[in-house]
Amino acid sequence: MWGHLDGQQQLNQRGSGGGGANQNQQMGGGGGGNVQQMGGQPQAQQQSAAAGGWGGANMMSGMMMGGGEDMAKQFAGAQTAQMAERAGACAKMLKPYFRVSNRYVLKKFEMVLFPCRRVFKKETWKREEEKEPLADANAPDLYLPLMACITFVLIIGWLEGKGGQFTPDVLGHIMSISLALLAVEVVAIYVAVRAVKGVPLGWFDTIAYCGYKYVPLCINVLCGVTFGYYGYLGATLATGASYALFSFHTFSAAAFAPAGDAAQFPPAVAATHNLRYKLVAIIIAAIEFL
């Protein structure tokens, strides 16, 4: 009986020890799982935070790029509008200079090539204020200088082709040289008028008055082609003298009008100013002759 009880106690102790071990294993396993779960949560939070940070940076970058594109579009639109406005204003200013008629063109040809006739008739060279070329033969225009310049370039290109030396670049080269020389002359006359008179002549008016020289230049070249060297020389002397006389009267009336009456200037001062104006007009005419 005592032996049976001792065996039963041993079995109970073994059972209780095994249960404790199992309980410990279960608690240990559960604890390990909880530790793993607790250890995995910070990593997930870090990954989600990093993903959120990259997403925010991308969003900010996209917003900045979008704002930059909007600003660039607004700037380009403003610049385009300003350019269009300036081009419209320039076209509005140039439009009266091209409003001409056949009668005006013929009259201007006569004034440029035969100014003596106008001088002998004592016709006025003074332009009527605010009148367009269509209504006033003394008003400057840009139609005749432009057409004469293009004709001159085409004649020179034709001569180059006649000599077997024509290339497509010839026309551009001749046009560039012609415009460069014209620009130098226009700037020089503009500065001279401003320095002497104090009131400059308009840029478009100066370009028009200087651009009429292409009319006699075309005639000189055609006379040289038709009659040879002496024909070219004779035409150059004749048209040069005519254009110089035309330039003298034109600039005297347009840029160097009389200084005013005695009420505004003393007679001696007015006479001095008028003499200086005539001298400058003579110098301009001499340059145009050359």
The DSSP result for 215-240, as a single string, is: HHHHHHHHHHHHHHHHHHHHHHHHHH
Residues 64 and 206 grouped into a single domain? no
Read off the DSSP letter of residue 213. T
Q: Can you give the C-alpha Rg of the chain in angstroms?
A: 47
Q: Three-state SS for 34?
A: helix
The answer to whether residue 21 sits within a structural domain is no
Check: CB of residue 273 under 8 Å from CB of residue 267. Answer: no
Where among 98, 131, 166 does a domain terminate?
98
Extract the tokens encoding 161: 């082709």
**Residue 267 and residue 256 in contact, taking contact as beta carbons nearer than 8 Å:** no
Written as six digits, the tokens of 244 are 């110089």
DSSP state of 6: H
Residue 4 lies in a domain: no
**Does residue 36 belong to any structural domain of this protein?**
no
Q: Which amino acid is at 166?
A: F
Do 145 and 91 belong together in one domain?
no
Residue pair 207/186 in contact by the 8 Å Cβ criterion: yes
Residue 262 neighbours by CB distance under 10 Å: 10
Its domain, for residue 241, covers 101-289
Task: Report the amino acid identity of residue 210.
Answer: C
- Assess whether 183 and 60 both reside in one domain: no
Which residue type sits at 57? A
pLDDT for residue 220: 92
Tell whether 159 is covered by a domain.
yes
Burial of 15 (0-12, 13-18, 19+ CB in 10 A): exposed
The number of distinct structural domains making up the chain is 2
The confidence score (pLDDT) of residue 87 equals 73
C-alpha to C-alpha distance for 249 and 120, rounded to whole angstroms: 13
Q: Does residue 249 lie within any of the structural domains? A: yes
Cβ count within 10 A of residue 62 = 10
C-alpha to C-alpha distance for 231 and 221, rounded to whole angstroms: 9
Domain check: are 145 and 94 in the same one?
Answer: no
Which residue bears the tokens 């415009």? 179
Which among 64, 82, 98 is the end of a domain?
Answer: 98
Same domain, 83 and 149: no
Dihedral (CA of 278, 196, 183, 134) sign: negative
Collapsed DSSP state (helix, strand, coil) of residue 200: coil
Hey, what are 166's tokens? 């024509």
At position 61, the amino acid (one-letter code) is S
- 8-state DSSP, 131: -
Residue 66 belongs to some domain of the structure: yes
The answer as to whether 28 is a domain residue is no
CA angle 224, 141, 155 (to 5 degrees): 25
144 with 229, same domain?
Answer: yes
- How does pLDDT run across 155-198, given as a tens digit for each residue? 988 888 877 777 778 888 888 998 999 999 899 888 888 887 76
Indicate if 268 and 134 belong to the same structural domain.
yes
pLDDT at 118: 80
Q: 82, 98, 114 — which closes off a domain?
A: 98
Rounded Cα gap, residues 213 and 179, in angstroms: 12
Q: What pLDDT was estimated at residue 249?
A: 84
pTM score of the predicted model: 0.66
Full pLDDT tens readout for the chain, 290 residues:
434 434 444 444 444 444 444 434 443 444 444 434 444 444 444 444 444 445 555 666 666 666 667 777 777 777 777 777 777 777 778 888 888 889 999 999 989 999 888 877 777 777 777 778 888 888 889 999 999 999 999 998 888 887 777 777 888 888 899 899 999 989 988 888 888 776 668 889 889 988 999 999 999 999 998 888 898 999 999 998 898 888 888 887 776 665 444 445 555 555 565 666 667 667 777 777 66
Residue 226 tokens read as 């038709």
Query: What one-letter code names the amino acid at 287?
Result: I
Looking at the fold, whether 226 and 106 belong to one and the same domain comes out as yes
Is residue 75 located within the same domain as residue 130? no
Structural domain contains residue 266: yes
pLDDT of residue 262: 43
Residues 194 and 284 in one domain: yes
Which amino acid is present at 4? H
Say yes or no: 94 and 105 in one domain. Answer: no
| CA triple 266-272-275, angle to 5 deg | 140
Do residues 113 and 215 make contact, with C-beta atoms less than 8 angstroms apart?
A: yes
Based on the fold, state whether residues 111 and 200 are members of the same structural domain.
Answer: yes
